[in-house]
Amino acid sequence: MVSAPFHFAIWLGIIALSLGFTNSCRQDESKKIYRENLSVASGIPFGDSDPFSNHAGIGANILELIYPVLFRLNAAGEPLLGLADDIEWSQTDPEIRLRLKTPDADAIIATFEKVKKLSGIHFLEGLNGIRELRKVSDHELVIVLDKWDRQLLYMLSVMPIMESKASKDRSRFALVEANDEQWILKRNASLPDAVNTIHFLAIPSSRRAIRELTAGKLDFVLLANSGDISVLSNIPDLETAELRASLFYMLLDNHRGSAKSTEDWKQINRKVLSNLFARGAAEGLYNQPGYPFLDAVGTQDSLQDKKPQAHSGPRKISFLGVQSRDRWLARILKRSLEEEGWQVELQSLSPGDFQRKIFQEYDFDLALMPISIKDPIVSAYILFHTATGPQTINVSGYSNPEFDRAIEAARFAKDPTVAKENFSKAIAILFERPPGMFLGWATTPLVYRKGCSGFKSNLVEFFESLKDVRCVVSAKN
């Protein structure tokens, strides 16, 4: 979806995904036969197999099966165990002591050195807050920070550690083939009654994936729109579900230079969204109650009687043409805005052109953006805080000093309560002067074969959980 490299950034949208397999299998104690091979079909490009590349796509998620991370963060921004077997946070100093499961101190230091040499990467600012990375032993590291920094901790939590001994663990996977059409991952050592080979395929057509699923060739399919799931819900061999994701869609205005907009986006958000959701655009989108980032989007229609002023000239919406959901949203947005008196043109872009024009050249008028939000404070900071350098994820050039002060206070607050209070202030300010139109959260309809289990129902964790999937071989396959 720019996952910017580390899964945070702007992903290329929701995927169509499917799991299939061969007849290679094993028999467990209960006489059930399990498949060793899975085939996963995605409707979006893989991106680069280098986890530090800017050209990331679904591959950034797949690489979670290969490279371990130091730790994970919970909802409060506190570190949980990952490659680190124990985490000790100093109560007096901004210092983290990590005790490692494997002797990988040198691999961690080498990864940090590689990241520091990269250019044009948004997470470098966070890593610059590390005062010292000190090796105590092969199994122990101390990270000394300039100050407590939620963004820095987030970047550490998603940084893949290269060439680590942990990545050679028999339960992890290695990438044995990667090209535009397919990626093949094999487990470092085969395990009984487990998936040991995962075959990822690039299949843009969801209709083709559905045909192969119903023919018994696939196990899982993740669809772009919930309308596709209705034709499959009554097939006896299949189960349906919905994966909730932290993927948020918005129409981002360009506030840079001559492209700077004078639109009243607060007015437009409330007026146009009422019509947009009423005509069925909410299919495949939802408002996520209680989620701390823009959870009230699309619910307000109190200004329906006040027609937003139409732009004096045509507006052009750039979007990812390979994504069926993005095409669908772009068409509905065009129709909704035209009903308000706008002139709207659509510009379908390939993933490469989207990356270049939006994130490198900032050459766009309006951009339909799928935004992966794993940490709401960090995401809001990187997306909308006034840019301080030439390379930034704040591609729109949005600048609001009042928002900056509030989101900075949230980013650097060690107390979760203080961070939440300041974040709420920042979001309220953002709603008063929005950078564009907030559309809604994405859902991913899932269809899977009843004999498969062990996967996570959260899209953020889905790919990494493929290592734990077990699929019973059925008569069909």
pLDDT at 13: 31
Percent of the chain with pLDDT strictly greater than 70:
75
pLDDT in tens, 135-171: 999 999 999 988 888 888 888 888 889 888 888 888 8
In angstroms, the CA 292 to CA 423 distance is 8
| Higher local confidence (pLDDT), 365 or 123 | 365
Q: Residue 319 in contact with residue 326, Cβ under 8 Å? A: yes
Query: At residue 370, what are phi and psi to the nearest 5 degrees?
Result: -85, 120
| Domains delineated in the chain | 17-65+168-245+443-471 (3.40.190.10), 71-166 (3.90.76.10), 246-442 (3.10.105.10)
In angstroms, the CA 406 to CA 413 distance is 11
pLDDT in tens, 208-232: 888 888 888 888 887 766 666 666 6
Q: Enter the pTM of the model.
A: 0.79
| Residue 78 CB contacts under 8 Å (≥ 6 apart), including other chains | 416
Strand (E) or helix (H) holding 238: strand 238-253
Per-range mean pLDDT, top range of 306-315, 427-436, 450-459: 427-436
In angstroms, the CA 126 to CA 105 distance is 20
Sign of CA dihedral 46, 177, 464, 126: negative
In angstroms, the CA 264 to CA 176 distance is 51
The answer, yes or no, to whether residue 297 has pLDDT greater than 50, is no
In angstroms, the CA 273 to CA 336 distance is 8
Tell me how crowded residue 197 is: count the other CB atoms within 10 A of its CB.
19
Inter-axis angle of helices 376-384 and 150-158, to 10 degrees?
100
Q: Residue 463 in contact with residue 192, Cβ under 8 Å? A: no
| Tokens standing for residue 388 | 């301080």
Bridging pattern class, strands 37-42 and 344-349:
unpaired
pLDDT at 75: 60
Cα separation values, 295 from 107, 197, 439, Å? 40, 39, 11
| Higher local confidence (pLDDT), 10 or 341 | 341
Tell me how crowded residue 477 is: count the other CB atoms within 10 A of its CB.
18
The residues facing 369 across adjacent strands are: 250
> Binning pLDDT at 50, 70 and 90, where does residue 42 land?
confident
DSSP state, 91?
Answer: S
> Binning pLDDT at 50, 70 and 90, where does residue 276 land?
low
The SS3 assignment for 37 reads strand
In angstroms, the CA 363 to CA 12 distance is 18
The SS3 assignment for 86 reads strand
In angstroms, the CA 431 to CA 428 distance is 5
Spatial CA neighbour of 20 closest among 444, 446, 448: 448
Cα separation values, 355 from 47, 96, 134, 205, 231, Å? 11, 35, 37, 22, 35
> Binning pLDDT at 50, 70 and 90, where does residue 4 land?
very low
**Range of lowest pLDDT (54-68, 224-238, 311-325, 368-382):** 224-238
| Residue 94 CB contacts under 8 Å (≥ 6 apart), including other chains | 144, 145, 146, 147, 148, 149
pLDDT at 439: 81
Q: Which residue has the tokens 């520091």?
A: 116
The answer, yes or no, to whether residue 177 has pLDDT greater than 90, is yes
> Binning pLDDT at 50, 70 and 90, where does residue 293 land?
very low
The answer, yes or no, to whether residue 444 has pLDDT greater than 70, is yes
pLDDT at 98: 92
Arithmetic mean of pLDDT over the chain: 77
